[in-house]
Structure 1
Amino acid sequence: MNQPCETVVVGAGVVGLSIAIALQQRGRQVTLLDRSRPGEGASFGNAGFLATELNDPLATPDTLKAAPLLWANPRGPVSLPLAHWPQITPWLWRFVKAASPRQVQVGQQGLRALNQSALGAWQRLLRRLDLIDELVPSGYLQVWEAEHAGSQAEQQAEKLAGWGIDSTVLSAAGVAELEPELNERVRHGLLLPASHQVRDPYHLVQRLFERFMEAGGRFQQTRVISVRGGQMAAQAVTEQGAVDAHQLVIACGAWSRQLLKSTGVDVPLQAERGYHLTLPRAGSVLRRPVGSADRHVVMTPMSCGLRVVGMSELGGLDQPPIEQRFDTLRHHASALLADAEPVTRDHTTWMGYRPTLPDSLPVIDQHPQQPSVYAAFGHQHLGLTQAAITSELLAARMTQQDTRIDLTPYRINRF
């Protein structure tokens, strides 16, 4: 691996792989490095739909007001394990600061700029690769169980309309007509008819990887220890030796902070642990992704089964999964489905690491002191959603082309 190559991308998840392909399509020879096989990180276990409506950052005044109750609820969506408090406290302080009205506005603008271009970018990428069948125009349904929650659905619809997103408020009967297998306790719904999902995010990454390799890409499964950059060349130092390149991209999700620190830049990136259940024999129970506004879980029908996703656990990279989180997902899925029997049958469990920055905006930038090094990470809950548009933007930046979107909100040194 000491033969120089043109471009190295560190990270074989959906973001890194999309960037590698975008660079290939601009004539670059690309080598992909990852400690795991492609798609085995956060890309494996996400909810599988393009959440282009999520234009609010995680840190808002409403989030801060609700946080104590969410943390106190043993079946709530937020967890901060006590063992990780010393490490997480500085990040939490930055999170609180990011909830200022001005910063929330910046976050909304930055997220909206990426999200409104996300679907088109995915369609372009998948059509070029003859993989458009992986993207499904499914729609997305958000539901509420409280009888008085109709006003919340109306307010959400009005907010989405302000962003140019069409939606339809539904009564309990309307929800039941669309999704007859939901529990009758669901009283209100909001349908986003233009939303899309993928058939299976892991299968998508596998097919992207096949196209990457067929086009002459290189892959090595190895842990990258550090990165060195300069004006005209970069180097990835791995367990198996050094890999030289003209340009290098750090796109390894929650592990990106460690590599960026080796270049002299530190960013407040936190590993936000997410959990899922997959019910392999229940893939046809629902017709589209369904998200519960009350329970903060999403259920998505996939080719691999019904995927139940939830939890935001700020627990770092080192601790094992907490079994109670899976119990919480079982509880919520059982309550939302009319027939809870599929939840009690055989299912698989998974925990992965979302890369989350306090302001919820990703880094999409060139290193401020080492121009041969670039970075794309920190997409929090929107890695799948924003992967294709991120690849277009970063590849354009690396090849001195117009990015079409102002990248200032996503700069490395904004903190």
Structure 2
Amino acid sequence: MKVAVVGAGIVGATAAHALLDEGHDVLVVDREGPAAGPSGGNAGWIAYTDILPIASPKILRQVPRFLVDPLGPLAIRPGYLLPLLPWLARFVAAARPAAYERSITAIAALQALALPAWTRLAGQLGCEALIHRRGGLYVYDDPAAFARADRLAARQRELGITVERLGAPDLRRMEPGLSQSVVGAFLHPDIAHVSDPRQLTTAVFEAALARGAHFLRRQVTNVAVGGGLRLACDGADAISVDAVVLAAGAWSKPLAASLGDRIPLDTERGYNVSFPGVTGLVGRPIAFEGHGFVATPLDTGFRVGGAVEFGGLSAPPNHARTRAIHAKARRFLPALPDFEVGSVWMGFRPSIPDSLPVIGRARTSPKIVYAFGHGHYGLTQSAATARLVADLLADRQSPIDLAPYRPDRF
């Protein structure tokens, strides 16, 4: 078939390869180009060990504390609360204990496919050197929180995830650059991170072009159904195709709505500061539990970022948030360079209230497949999602139950 992939981020780029493997004629359409959004600016983790949705009973208890701090781990822009209310209502529903447990099961199923899928794709493309397997650390400065995390570690082990508990002395021997404020950590020795998210996404995209995929820099404004599928694009004639994969991240919602699917997609605005050329601060990626940020030693430099801000797609960045993340990071990493020498970034994570992506067929046509809404795990889950998309278009049995990710679950 002639298949149009709408979106040139990491999900679209990996989907292009899965479709090429099936022998399809692939056209990637994107308004900017590869890695223009969060696919180029994320933290660079293949964090398949993360199994907890953001919507949880715990987060509901913490939200009031977060919201009184406009620069804290979670914030809602003034004026955006009203537009966000429908999303927040579904978020609260997803945090109920039974729904929360269902989300864990579904996240774990998809995460279990993530690293094997990336291993396969990297080997196929010859880009194994862009993926590093040095493990990842989740560090704590609160002894009580560290003790409570044993329950999560036990659950991860039940799912076959390797996790090791480290006290402060062992942790500091492993990462001497950490300050005395840390009390312990959990090590996931199999976590991977990438050389640089932009570098990897661009390499995967360019490899798809080298395999015969085509690229059109246009914004898709509509997908017409009836007598075949046609993509309407700004500044170009309509494009006739046999199938469409919608992987446009934060910009997927209006296209899905035009196809009859009302998806509760909003955007978590993520912030980071990167220090090009800075190496040696830590040896592996580190998440700072309870503080909402991570640090990653990329090949291109050192990156610190995270946090969640709801403010829509049009409000300008608030890099006071980035500065606040940097100030927190310095408490744990005393050798972190001054904020002023770093390069700041803000991007839009496509977020669904239950922390599960939308993977499934559109209401109006079985030849339109959705692959968006991965939130914090676009890089992690992209290669696995690509294989699931190919299965759907081939009417093939998928390796996991896709019902939890279906577009009409809301």
Question: What is the TM-score when the length of structure 1 is the normalising length?
Answer: 0.95
Q: 1:270 aligns with which of 245, 266, 272?
A: 266
Q: Distance in 1 between matches of 2:277 and 2:139?
A: 23
TM-align CA RMSD: 1.4
**2:350 match:** 355
- 2:38 match: secondary structure: coil
Distance 1:146 1:102, change over 3 A: closer
* Aligned partners of 1:229 and 1:373 also within 8 Å: no
* Aligned partners of 1:229 and 1:371 also within 8 Å: no
Task: State the one-letter code of the partner of 2:288.
Answer: S
Q: Distance in 2 between matches of 1:178 and 1:112?
A: 28
* Aligned partners of 2:256 and 2:362 also within 8 Å: no
- Deviations along 1:74-132, whole A, 9 cap, x unmatched? 44200101121121011101111111122112111110110011000011111111112
Q: 1:169 aligns with which of 165, 173, 176?
A: 165
- 1:376 match: secondary structure: strand
- Deviations along 1:249-296, whole A, 9 cap, x unmatched? 110001000111121221110011111111113232110000000312
Q: Distance in 2 between matches of 1:183 and 1:172?
A: 10
**1:189 match:** 185
Is 2:353 the partner of 1:377? no
* Aligned partners of 1:161 and 1:167 also within 8 Å: yes
Cα displacement (A) at 1:156: 3.2
- 2:80 match: secondary structure: helix
Q: Distance in 1 between matches of 2:391 and 2:178?
A: 44
Q: 1:404 aligns with which of 399, 403, 406?
A: 399
Task: State the one-letter code of the partner of 2:353.
Answer: P
Task: State the one-letter code of the partner of 1:128.
Answer: Q
Q: Distance in 1 between matches of 2:156 and 2:105?
A: 14
Q: Distance in 2 between matches of 1:282 and 1:336?
A: 17
Report 1:54-65 matches (<5 A): 54-65=50-61
Is 2:389 the partner of 1:394? yes
Q: Distance in 2 between matches of 1:203 and 1:170?
A: 32
Q: 2:108 aligns with which of 99, 105, 112?
A: 112
Q: Distance in 2 between matches of 1:63 and 1:344?
A: 29
* Aligned partners of 2:260 and 2:363 also within 8 Å: no
How many aligned positions are there? Answer: 409
- 2:182 match: secondary structure: coil
Distance 1:151 1:210, change over 3 A: same
Report 1:88-237 matches (<5 A): 88-230=84-226, 233-237=228-232
Q: Distance in 1 between matches of 2:362 and 2:143?
A: 51
Task: State the one-letter code of the partner of 1:407.
Answer: L
Cα displacement (A) at 1:236: 1.3
Q: 1:81 aligns with which of 71, 77, 94?
A: 77
Q: Distance in 2 between matches of 1:317 and 1:228?
A: 25
Is 2:259 the partner of 1:258? no
Cα displacement (A) at 1:314: 1.2
* Aligned partners of 1:10 and 1:248 also within 8 Å: yes
Distance 1:100 1:248, change over 3 A: same
Task: State the one-letter code of the partner of 2:325.
Answer: L
Cα displacement (A) at 1:24: 0.7
Question: What is the TM-score when the length of structure 2 is the normalising length?
Answer: 0.97
Task: State the one-letter code of the partner of 2:103.
Answer: G
* Aligned partners of 2:4 and 2:28 also within 8 Å: yes
Is 2:14 the partner of 1:52? no
Query: Aligned residues: percent identity?
Result: 35
